[in-house]
Structures are given as structure tokens and as C-alpha cells.
Amino acid sequence: FRIFFSGDVRIDTRDRLKVNTDQLTYTKATETADAEEYLEFSRDNISGRAVGAVVKIAGKTLELLKDVEIKAGPGGPGSEFARADVERATLRSESAFVDQEAETIDLKGNVDALVVPAGKGSGGRTPTKIMSSNAKAFVEEKELRRVDLSGGVVIETSNAGGTPAVAKSSKATYLVPGEVFELEGDVRIDSENNGRATRIASSRAVYRQAAATVDLTGGARVTQGTDSVAGDRINASLYP
């Protein structure tokens, strides 16, 4: 059978997922709830909002259809994204698919992420802004471990003094423990220190955010003012 609910509708599943919306259709045969309007959801220390969703209760999935925003903050033991080195993360995209069993979040279309580390402003730890066409976040043992980015990847960071660095590539992997970015495809990194601009280009790069260093491979070139060095492999500092 199918039931239509209207007016302050709330879903509370067995696995702690909560969804609030104004109108919802529930189909018993498939244990599926369809919402077409604005909704808010939460599970442990993750919360968010979207316009339209499909909740498959038995399958433990949540498909967010439009204007997605997901926030993850600090949580207690066993909470997803409850990492001591991440204070909060905000993810935005056109649509998203949350698989609770696989512990993944697929973000589709104009992905915009802001990751704020714990203790920001000290020891070089500052917020990181990430943009791409699509992304997939992986959770392992209740911790955010990795984010795969594809299509027009842009990463904006800065050191403790506020000096910015911008990295661009075709695709990238963000390894959250250690704050490491693995960049691939037409890599470009621009930074500035004491008024001196540094331009970096290569096919692939490993950017260690906390240390502000980058390992370049494949057609690597580093340019600072009129000085330039090229090679197949180069190890460089963004703020020499």
C-alpha cells in the first residue's frame, strides 16, 4: 500500500536517520519514502538539507535530488566524521547519494566543499576550499578517510600567515589523515610568499598541505620570477 503524509512529516529509521519535510509519500512494498519539497535530515553528527529526496529504508540509502548541503561536525565515539583533526566540513552539490551500508557519499554537479581543521590558525592549519564537478567521500571505521574529486578540481589553501595557494588539476584524491592531495592531469599550483610568486606545473603532484610541500612528476616545472627549473621529478616548497 501507499500512504501520503502532509504537514510537519518526520521519519526516524532504525539506523538513526531522521528526515523532516512537509509532504511525503511512503510505499510499504519497497519501504521507500519520496519527498518532493524542501527537507532536512540528520544522522549522528551529520546533518543537511536538500530539495527532494528518496529514502530507501531497507536499503539504507538516501538520494538527495537538488540543492544539497551536508554538514559534518565533531561527534562522540563511533560518530562518522568524528576526527580530532577536522572541526567541521560543509559539502554542497546539485545532487547526492548517501549509502549508509557502503559508508559513501556521492556528490554530483558543482561540488563545493569547505574543510575547517581543528586548531585552525595555528601551526599552518587553515580552512581548505575544494571545488570540482563531482566527488565521492569515503568513510572507514566511522571516520572520513578519503575524498575522490573529478572534473575541474580547484583547491584553495593558505598558510598560518594567510598567504594563499591555489592548486588545479583534472582529478584529485584528498587523503584526510595527513591532509594530503594527490593531483593528476594538467596540474597547476600558484602560490606567493613575501611578494614573490611561484608557478608550478606538472602531470602529477602530491601536495602535503600541513608541510606546504609538493612532489612533482612528469614534465615538472617551477618558476619564480625570472628563475625556472624543469625536470621529470621535482620536490618543492610552496612558501620557501
* Alpha-carbon gap, residue 23 to 29, rounded angstroms: 19
Pairing of strands 18-27, 180-193: unpaired
With bands split at pLDDT 50, 70 and 90, how would you rate the model's confidence at 81?
very low
Looking up cell 561536525 gives 73
Q: Which residues contact 226 (CB under 8 A, 6 or more apart)?
A: none
Phi, psi dihedral angles at 221 (to 5 degrees): -150, 135
The pLDDT tens digits for 122-177 are 445 678 899 999 999 988 766 778 899 999 999 998 866 667 889 999 999 999 87
Q: What is the pTM of this model?
A: 0.86
Q: How confident is the model at residue 116 (pLDDT cuts 50, 70, 90)?
A: confident
Q: What pLDDT band is residue 49 in, cutting at 50, 70 and 90? A: very high
Q: Is residue 34 a contact partner of residue 11, using CB atoms and an 8 Å limit?
A: no
What grid cell was written down for 141? Answer: 571505521
Mean pLDDT value of segment 108-116: 93
How many degrees, rounded to 5, is the angle at CA 205 between CA 202 and CA 209? 130
pLDDT tens digit string along 186-205? Answer: 999 998 877 788 899 999 99
Where b means 16+ CB within 10 Å and e means fewer, 50-76 reads bbbbebebeebbbbbbeebbbbbbeee
* Contact predicate 163/136, CB 8 Å: no
Please state, in angstroms and rounded to a whole number, the distance separating the CA atoms of residues 62 and 40. 12
How would DSSP label each residue in 154-217? EEEEE-TT--EEEEEEEEEEEETTTTEEEEEEEEEEEEEETTEEEEEEEEEEEEETTTTEEEEE
So what's the pLDDT on residue 80? 44
Residue 215, pLDDT score: 97
In one letter, which amino acid is 58? Answer: A
